[in-house]
Structure 1
Amino acid sequence: MRTVQRSRARLGVFVPFTNTNLEPDLMMMCPADVSVHVTRLGGYDANEVPDSQQMAGLGAMNMDEPIRLLAGIEPDIMIYGCTSATLAHGRDFDASLSARIASEGNARTITAAGALVHALQALEAERIAFASPYVPLLNDHAIAFLRSCGIETVSRADVAGTLDNAGQGNMSPEEVFDLGLQADSKKAKAIVLSCTDMRAVEVIEALEIETGKPVVTSNQAIMFQALSQLNLTPARSGFGQLFDMQNTVLRTRSE
């Protein structure tokens, strides 16, 4: 019997082992004929605050076995699903990790941090407002990473207090919405909500209506870059100006 692949494309995703929001977000946006396959990553202590040191440890973990296991499904694209792990190391590290995964996994590769940059460049948004559930020092690293890519952060919002891994994932969409509003300023051309474990995808549409600006989140940016490479559109509308722009481009190509 001839084997027929049941999906049009396969996305292979590396997910930090405490992350509970990346997978639901990707499935929410993913077209029905694209399948998502996940392997989980360790390299950090779930009981510690995910600060710069913890996230740098995740980024530096040995990836040999996770790459080997995820390559077993022969994915079209491999996705490194943690923004802060490479933000903590910088742009060169992010590019090097992406190249290594692509080479060893024999697939196109997207990193969450790189996807943010890709999305902002697509929107031509060089001045942004930035918010995340990270500790302030990790936000500093994130802003420096974006600056090295030609993106200036003109305003930002840090969360009150210090969130552990569960606390970041348990932020409500209402809390994420308020954080985005707090970050916004007149000088910003777009609002960035960074973290693959923050429920930001659910507030994109409302925050764009409230501010009149495009909103870019880690998980939305990942799916935008993946579907752009596959020339596909998300499962439904409501994921922001970023996808609206892509849909217009694809319609134009088909005419």
Structure 2
Amino acid sequence: MDFNTHLNRQFRIGLLVPAGNTTFEPDFHSAFSSQVSIHAHRVIAQGSHAYESVESMDDINEEAVKEIAKLAKAGVHFGAYGFTTAKFYQGRVFAEKLQQRLTQGLGVPVVIPSLALLEALSHLQVKKIAVVTPYPEWNNQTLKAFLNEVQLP
């Protein structure tokens, strides 16, 4: 493929989005040119959960792993899973294993936002972290535990 053909190629990004999330798709649409098409698939937990917890996160993650095969039908080149708490609530190793499962199911690399955050902190050699979130206390405590895994310089 020559360079001009490569420039005219449409890249497809696949998004796994929690059913109630209204920001993930618009954020991706605003970040990319017309050379990129966004293909989203909504995921919903099978159980009824009054609030976010280990159980609700386990539920939505299992559904994401099951549902990613549907997104694979779009022939996407990359994927992203847009439920940040659902990846950091059990630590880095859990997030890495989930990323592997999703990548295997989609057949192309899947980005996990919490792992991308850790990579960015490391790359930028961040020495101190301050976080402001819209999350309730449970989410904040799990995020704090996740960020405490980061080895700052």
Which category describes the TM-score, using the shorter chain as reference length?
0.7 to 0.9
Report the Cα offset of residue 31 of structure 1.
2.0
Number of residue pairs aligned between Structure 1 and Structure 2 = 148
Distance 1:138 1:151, change over 3 A: farther
Structure 1 CA distance for aligned equivalents of residues 41 and 24 of structure 2 = 12
The equivalent of 2:88 in structure 1 is: 87
Amino acid across the alignment from 1:127:
K
The equivalent of 1:32 in structure 2 is: 34
Report the Cα offset of residue 106 of structure 1.
0.9
Per-residue CA deviation, residues 133-171 of structure 1 (Å, 9 max, x unaligned), is 11112211112112213259xxxxxxxxxxxxxxxxxxx
Segments of 5+ residues of structure 2 without an aligned counterpart are none
The equivalent of 1:49 in structure 2 is: 51
The equivalent of 2:109 in structure 1 is: 108
In 2, are the aligned partners of 1:18 and 1:46 still within 8 Å (CA)?
Answer: no
Report the Cα offset of residue 75 of structure 1.
1.2
Per-residue CA deviation, residues 17-41 of structure 1 (Å, 9 max, x unaligned), is 0001111111111122111100001
Amino acid across the alignment from 1:55:
M
The equivalent of 1:237 in structure 2 is: none
Query: Which of 60, 63, 79 lines up with 1:61 in the alignment?
Result: 63
Q: How does 1:195-234 map to 2 (within 5 A)?
A: none
Distance 1:62 1:75, change over 3 A: closer
Distance 1:46 1:122, change over 3 A: farther
Distance 1:13 1:46, change over 3 A: farther
Structure 2 CA distance for aligned equivalents of residues 62 and 10 of structure 1 = 19
Segments of 5+ residues of structure 1 without an aligned counterpart are 153-255
Residue 136 of structure 2 corresponds to residue 140 of structure 1: no
In 1, are the aligned partners of 2:16 and 2:64 still within 8 Å (CA)?
Answer: no
User: What percentage of aligned pairs have identical amino acids?
Assistant: 27
Distance 1:62 1:10, change over 3 A: closer
The equivalent of 1:185 in structure 2 is: none
The CA RMSD over aligned residues, in Å, is: 2.6
Residue 132 of structure 2 corresponds to residue 131 of structure 1: yes
Distance 1:133 1:56, change over 3 A: farther
Structure 1 CA distance for aligned equivalents of residues 43 and 64 of structure 2 = 10
In 2, are the aligned partners of 1:56 and 1:89 still within 8 Å (CA)?
Answer: no
2:129 match: secondary structure = strand
Following TM superposition, where does structure 1 have runs of at least 4 consecutive aligned residues deviating by more than 6 angstroms?
44-47
2:13 match: secondary structure = strand
Q: Give the TM-score taking structure 2 as reference length.
A: 0.83
